[in-house]
Structure 1
């Protein structure tokens, strides 16, 4: 694995540190008036989810880990475990549903997502950036309501609450950004 200097750490990097695999969530580069520069990093453990704040000086060497990314198809959920299948080899992998957190509601049957592996251990899963959802409940469309930035609450078929423009009605399909969990456009 390649070693990088402490000042080369970026958000999203996966590091091997203190015998565990850590993802850099936030990185602040600090140059105090007295002393050497350092990177203040908020790290999240990929195996158990614990967090750690660590300082790395520019002279410190850390091991950067490359995760293998595979496209996998969602099959089903059982007992808090999500089962995915590799489309090429048909191998099935089971991961903890907590891995997706609140974005779990956007997972649909047959959806292809990216699962990241380290030595055949599934560590992370990423949903597509945009997902099509149906509006289950919202206020009726009001004709003539054309205020620029007015939004109304809506509940999607998966139970997530989002703000939608006033022209969007019930039982319409919309596209939702899974990263920000906000309305993107009509489907």
Structure 2
């Protein structure tokens, strides 16, 4: 099995260690200038922070493979400090801290399927489906004459977050939310 990758063999989606952190390669471009040493311009995403960085490396650089694995799990429950997930294949339980879950806690509903990224036997990130359906718990009524200039209003969802929705959305409506942006998509 390959333990190191040369700068020339980096491909999008490959997980390697860069600056002692696990990263996913997004793009790599080899550059051979007229004068001087050849180099590669690499764009990568730090898995821990989610930050996207573009930098250059010498053509002689090597990168260690990141021993990162993704596990498909189902959300069980939480106690406000920890979220509990279950791997359906081997029934292994994973405990994830509030810090790792972050804002995504508002898009996680019971029995939802997601993916956990594990590095050094610790969960470092969570990936959700792109869309989730949530129920409107509370919203204000807008008088029709006032709706001409304001076509969005605040609504409280059943997960506890308030987002902007179109004025025609009512209490108990089920709406589709984009989990990547946290924005309203459509009414179900």
TM norm structure 1: 0.73
Task: Give the CA deviation at 1:138.
Answer: 1.7
* Secondary structure in 1 matching 2:70: strand
Alpha-carbon offset, residue 17 of structure 1: 3.1
CA contact (8 A) 1:74 1:109 kept: yes
Q: Equivalent residues in 2 for 1:6-155 (5 A)?
A: 8=10, 14-18=15-19, 20-23=20-23, 38-39=40-41, 44=46, 46=48, 49=49, 55-57=55-57, 59=59, 60-65=61-66, 67-78=68-79, 80-118=81-119, 120-140=121-141, 142=143, 150-155=151-156
Give the 3-state SS of the residue equivalent to 1:133 in structure 2: strand
Quote the Cα distance in structure 2 between the aligned partners of 1:71 and 1:109: 15
* Cα gap change, 1:139 to 1:182, in 2 (>3 Å): same
Q: Is the 8 A contact 2:67 2:120 kept in 1?
A: no
Distance (whole Å) between structure 2 residues aligned to residue 37 and residue 167 of structure 1:
55
- Specify the SS of the correspondent of 1:65: coil
For residues 50 and 139 of structure 1, what CA distance do their matches in structure 2 show?
A: 35
- Give the unaligned 5+ runs of structure 2: none
SS at match of 2:117: strand
Contact 1:23 1:44 in 2 (8 A): yes
CA distance in 1: counterparts of 2:176 and 2:115, whole angstroms: 19
When structure 1 is superposed on structure 2, of 110-119 and 155-164 the one drifting more is 110-119
Cα distance in 1 between the residues matched to 2:47 and 2:56: 17
Local SS of the residue matching 2:125: strand
1:176 aligns to 2:177 (yes or no): yes
Instruction: State the shift of 1:67 in Å.
Output: 3.5
CA-atom RMSD, angstroms? 3.8
Paired residues in the alignment total 183
C-alpha separation in 1, matches of 2:28 and 2:10: 11
CA distance in 1, matches of 2:187, 2:50: 38
Given that 1:7 and 1:57 are in contact with CA atoms closer than 8 Å, whether structure 2 keeps it comes out as no
Secondary structure at the aligned position of 2:110 is classed as coil
